Structure 1
Amino acid sequence: MKPINRDRRELFERALLGAAGLALLPQDLPAAQGDRSADAAVLRSDEPAHAQGPPTQNERRPHYELFEFAWQDSARKRAVPARFYRPLARDRADGAARPLVLFSHGLGGSRSGYRYLSDYLATEGIACLHPQHIGSDRSIWSAGSPFTVGSRLLAASQDAEAIARVQDLRFCLDQLFASEFADQIDRQRIVVAGHSYGANSALLMGGARVVRNGIGVDLRDARPKAVIAMSAPPFYGEASWTSILSSMKLPSLHITCSEDVIRIPGLLSGADDRVAIFEATAGLPKCLTMFEGGSHSVFTDREASGGFETNRRIKRASCLLIAAFLRLTFDQDPAGMRRWQSQHDDMLRQFIWS
């Protein structure tokens, strides 16, 4: 068994910042092809998740297995490491295929981030797949001088990497469905999700469409049936968000907080941008949740961001909200959303559901 790295400094570097905006240029998008004999390491599932994690972690042990893959996309000559949370069957009769959340990390993140969320979802029977986007991952914090971090952040948010991130997501689905786990996933219950830069990637995979030099860049993939966008930043170089997001017709959940502010070189973006992105999105049902307080990094594995107690409560509420949204989307069950709203009303600056 390979233990999960708990080094605090690595966690800090990984989760310092969620994302930049997005710039895209038209270019050829090769079909994803990979080495399907990629190495997989099995990790322990009985290790507790991050201390500020899901609401039930002190009440029961996680009920899943972790696998890490060293996938290689040979067509793009790009490594795509990934972590897979596989829920375990509750009993011998529990052989049902599982829903899947495909999660894209923010700028400077990695496949091991957002563990609090995937720990909760996998324990609830929802599989989670986290690719690591080489080029906009945690290596930007350590790839050179700390005085040039700003330039590395900007380089990581440019067109080629923005496209490559969505291709990473598509490639990971291809790999998973060519693996021994293929029959364990319900292909009609796939959600693409992401935080910050990863939220942009998720929206693009879900159908958001930008135009560069008069040419539309369409990265839509038909496999995801819903989108979860946590702290989505604006799209670089775009004047009309409606023109970008009116083509995103999937159900969507947008999560932010009142102090959700992105500050990186070339981008200052507040919670009002998250609201505008929600309003421009066409698909139904859609929900906007804005928590009171918090921070942009509160949705990462950082414990102190936004204040310890607020951080813990927002993480807990977000786990429950996402589970309720999945029931609404896939089971047409609105009761969970109504119940969630009534139970968390004291935490909310804004809640819109249509």
Structure 2
Amino acid sequence: MPAPSAIPAMPTPIISVKPVVLPAPERGDDLQVRLSAPVTGTGLPVVVLAHGNGKSMSSYDPLVDFWASNGFVVVQPTFLDSRTVALTPDDPRYPDIWDIRVQDLGRVLDELDRVLAAIPGLGERVDRERIAVAGHSWGGQTAGMLLGARVVGVDGPNRTDPRVKAGVLFATAGLGGDELTPFAKENFSFLNPDFSGLTTPTLVVAGDHDQSALSTRGPDWFTDVYRLSPGARALLTLSGGEHLLGGIHAYDAADTTDENPGRVDVIRRASWAFLRSELGIDDLAWKQVQAEIAEPLGRIDTK
């Protein structure tokens, strides 16, 4: 008889509330977030999810639904680059969006009680000592700053946040400098990361067919954060995965060039299990995922 699965077969119903509005007069627009949580359970961990360029708090349902229905509270801010905000390049905030994104994540953590209050009784069910961040693409760089990454050449504050105990970085940009295309050098000077200070336990997720228009290298560019950060504990590489990793950003999305529900399922199970392990809940599911994931879907490397 096969061993029982460490991943629940019957997920818990969830509730989502949006928008939860955090006043931010100095930002120019108040910060809007979505809050998702299981309807039952106590001691719930929190994950703050940073969206990719143009997306919003309404994105990433395939991840959010799974995480929340399996015991996580998920908070999703909408950044100024979101198409729902419609900021134009002539807006004076535009060059600083990358930094405002990081400030937005900090604001969510600073005002977590206000966010949680949007669902009555949720605040009493949350474990505030178990907080993680996750991010896809540009959101990966944003979340990575709270995990300890820096931007080379920027003389700003260290944004490492001790409240954050673990992270997951999906399709996160690699080294800058000569690794960037001329277009990226001209338009995205902040794409120049230093991963040496990223010491918070992190799972890196990359697709082996993710060829970025911003890099002169191949898909291995998205594994730099794993190779170069002391905190990156594991690398999940998805065979055939492109930048949207099978469709983690939305169900049945027309812009998913590598649509693969099986790939999405691997990603959400692995990320959930990794966070449970690193947040000290249990490591059974993470051990199970590491034993199960293999080609043709992908592989997990650890260090």
The two structures have a TM-score, normalised by structure 1, of 0.69
Counterpart residue identity of residue 159, structure 2: L
- Which of these residues, 142, 166, 176, is aligned with residue 201 of structure 1? 142
SS in structure 1 at match of 2:197: coil
Give CA deviations for 1:229-273 in whole Å, capped at 9, x if unaligned. 00001354588x99811111100000111112233xx55664211
- Tell me, yes or no, if the aligned pair for 2:87 and 2:94 is still in contact at 8 Å: no
Q: Across the two proteins, how many residue pairs are aligned to each other?
A: 276
Higher mean Cα deviation, 117-126 or 72-81? 72-81
For residues 287 and 176 of structure 1, the distance between their equivalents in structure 2, rounded to whole angstroms, comes to 28
In the alignment, is the contact (CA less than 8 A) between 2:61 and 2:251 conserved in 1?
no
Which residue of 2 is the match for residue 122 of structure 1?
A: 68
Displacement after TM superposition at 1:287 (Å): 0.5
1:170 corresponds to: 106
- Aligned counterpart in structure 2 of residue 276 of structure 1, from 217, 221, 224: 224
With over 3 angstroms needed to count, the CA separation of the structure-2 counterparts of 1:87 and 1:163, relative to structure 1, is same
* Secondary structure of the structure 1 residue equivalent to 2:52: coil
Question: In 1, are the aligned partners of 2:51 and 2:138 still within 8 Å (CA)?
Answer: yes
Q: What SS does the corresponding residue of 1:189 show, helix, strand or coil? A: strand
By how many angstroms is 1:130 displaced?
Answer: 0.3
Provide closer, same or farther for how the CA distance between residues 182 and 270 of structure 1 changes in structure 2, counting only shifts above 3 A: farther
| Alpha-carbon displacement from aligned partner over 1:125-162 (angstroms, at most 9, x marks no partner) | 1100000002x11248x678xxxxxxx5x999975111
Q: Does 1:345 align with 2:264?
A: no
Q: The residue matched to 1:183 in structure 2 has which SS?
A: helix
Question: Counterpart in 2 of 1:232?
Answer: 172
For the residues of structure 2 that align with 1:166 and 1:242, how far apart are their CA atoms?
15
Q: Deviations over 1:293-330 (max 9, x none)?
A: 0210233215363444xx10111111110121022212
Measure, in 2, the Cα distance between the counterparts of 1:83 and 1:235: 31
- Could you say which residue in structure 1 is the equivalent of 2:186? none
Contact 1:72 1:79 in 2 (8 A): yes
SS of 2:205's partner is strand
**Residue 211 of structure 1: aligned partner:** 152
TM-score, normalised with respect to structure 2: 0.80
Partner of 1:256: 206
Indicate conservation of the 8 Å contact 2:50/2:134, yes or no: yes
Q: Does 1:314 align with 2:259?
A: no
| Secondary structure in 1 matching 2:35 | strand
What are the Cα deviations for residues 32-65 of structure 1, in whole angstroms up to 9, with x where unaligned?
Answer: xxxxxxxxxxxxxxxxxxxxxxx98xx8575121
Shift of the alpha carbon at 1:276?
1.6
Question: Structure with the greater relative contact order (CA < 8 A, sep ≥ 6): 1 or 2?
Answer: 1
The answer on 1:137 being equivalent to 2:82 is: yes
Does 2:32 match 1:81?
Answer: yes
- 1:86 is matched by which residue type in structure 2? A
Q: Name the CA distance, whole Å, in 2 between partners of 1:102 and 1:158.
A: 23
* Residue type at the aligned position of 1:191: A
- How well do the aligned residues superpose, as a CA RMSD in angstroms? 3.1
Cα offset, 1:228, TM superposition: 0.6
* Structure 2 unaligned residues grouped into runs of 5+: 1-6, 180-190
Q: Which amino acid aligns with 1:118?
A: V
Q: Which amino acid aligns with 1:206?
A: L
Stretch moving more, 218-227 or 294-303: 294-303
CA contact under 8 A between 2:293 and 2:299: conserved in structure 1? no
Classify the secondary structure of the residue corresponding to 1:78.
coil
Supply the AA of the counterpart residue of 1:278.
Y
Give the conservation status (yes or no) of the 8 Å contact 1:209–1:217: no
Cα gap change, 1:323/1:301 in structure 2, threshold over 3 Å: closer, same or farther?
same
Distance 2:147 2:92 in 1: 21
Distance 1:174 1:183, change over 3 A: farther
Structure 1 counterpart of 2:241: 294
For residues 337 and 157 of structure 1, the distance between their equivalents in structure 2, rounded to whole angstroms, comes to 41
Taking only the aligned residue pairs, the percentage that are identical comes to 24
**Amino acid across the alignment from 1:102:** V
User: 2: distance between equivalents of 1:132 and 1:318?
Assistant: 22
Gap regions ≥5 residues in structure 1: 1-54, 145-151
State the distance in 2 between where 1:200 and 1:70 align. 24
Rounded to whole Å, the distance in 2 between the matches of 1:143 and 1:253 is 32
Asked if structure 2 preserves the Cα contact closer than 8 Å seen for 1:110 and 1:137, the reply is yes
Q: For 2:100 and 2:266, how far apart are their aligned partners in 1?
A: 32
| 1:234–1:269 CA contact under 8 A, matched in 2 | no
Partners of 2:258 and 2:151 lie apart in 1 by 36
